[in-house]
Structure 1
């Protein structure tokens, strides 16, 4: 019998795909803004149940993940729909999380909650 331990790194890799999907749907206005906040809170609750060391360093991938997470959570629905610069930055984060071999998007300063 093997024990599966979900590390912060594995958690982020798994949740990144979910986050990208939700963000892309939001950008297409295919899901309501309020629904996205519920999904983000679910991710945060799961993160809080995770056994993790705060001293662990963050990879570029995790920094981009948390940057995108906070951006979606704290920007207004109007800005997410209409701010072209913001939409471009979000798109770059999503593409990077889907293809981590791409250059890390500039200005992503995500930190763990």
Structure 2
């Protein structure tokens, strides 16, 4: 039940965040994706806060980063953008686990 959710939402997150970072998606759409994802997650009624996989951990970390940083920071801060891309490459399956990613479930 949880693994298919994380897998599907990870693919969607890769799509949305990649397009945003390339300037092809408005911040508002990225924000709406995050909140729609959180709404769907809440319907699963998961009790544990600990991610089951490293992929899930990076997924939650990215969602947090998207909401934590302001739109101008997400668009202009080279360090933040590099970190987001590094996490995206891990989600995509061709990067290494970012050592700084500590994501937990909402």
The answer to whether TM tops 0.5 is: yes
Larger radius of gyration: 1
* Other-structure match for 2:79: 85
5+ residue gaps, structure 2: none
Displacement of 1:31 after TM fit?
1.3
Residue in 1 aligned with 2:53?
A: 59
Once residues 85 and 9 of structure 2 are traced to their aligned partners in structure 1, the CA distance between those partners, rounded to angstroms, is 17
- What is the CA RMSD across the aligned residues, in angstroms? 1.6
With over 3 angstroms needed to count, the CA separation of the structure-2 counterparts of 1:23 and 1:57, relative to structure 1, is closer
Specify the SS of the correspondent of 2:52. coil
The count of aligned residue pairs is 106
The C-alpha deviation readout for 1:63-100, integer Å capped at 9, x for no partner, is 1000001101121111111111111110011111010x
TM normalised by structure 2 equals 0.91
Cross-structure match for 2:16: 22
Task: Please point out which of 43, 57, 65 is paired with 1:49.
Answer: 43
The match for 2:102 is: 109
- Say if 2:90 is the partner of 1:96: yes
- 8 Å contact from structure 2 (residues 10, 59) kept in 1: yes
Structure 1: where are the runs of 5+ without partners?
1-6
Paired residues of 2:57 and 2:102 also in contact (CA < 8 A): yes
**How far apart, in 2, do the equivalents of 1:57 and 1:29 lie?**
30
Give the deviation of 1:56 after TM superposition: 5.9
